[in-house]
Amino acid sequence: MGASFVPITVFTVLWGVVGIVCPFFAPKGPNRGIIQVVLMLTAATCWLFWLCCYMAQMNPLIGPKLDTETLIWMSRTWGNPATA
């Protein structure tokens, strides 16, 4: 299982819009700069968090823990009889 092009593109575009386009629509006022920075930082950190979670699912460090009986049943069902 590898990285799929579609979800990476969709989420990159989504957070790119939040971080690049939305700051232009920040309301005028004394806090406009702060609102723009908050939008950009939110987009960057949310995208990075999503990317890390997405990439961690591709090669998980911890696999499923199965009982011995389940493993024996699976091996017999799949045509590779194992002895316990």
Q: Look up tokens 């009889």; give the residue.
A: 81
Structure tokens at 2: 């590898």
How far apart are the C-alpha atoms of 71 and 58, rounded to whole Å? 23
**pLDDT for res 73:** 87
Contact 75, 67 (CB under 8 A): no
Is the pTM higher than 0.85? Answer: no
- Mean pLDDT confidence for 14-22: 96
Q: What is the mean pLDDT of the chain?
A: 89
How far apart are the C-alpha atoms of 60 and 82, rounded to whole Å? 26
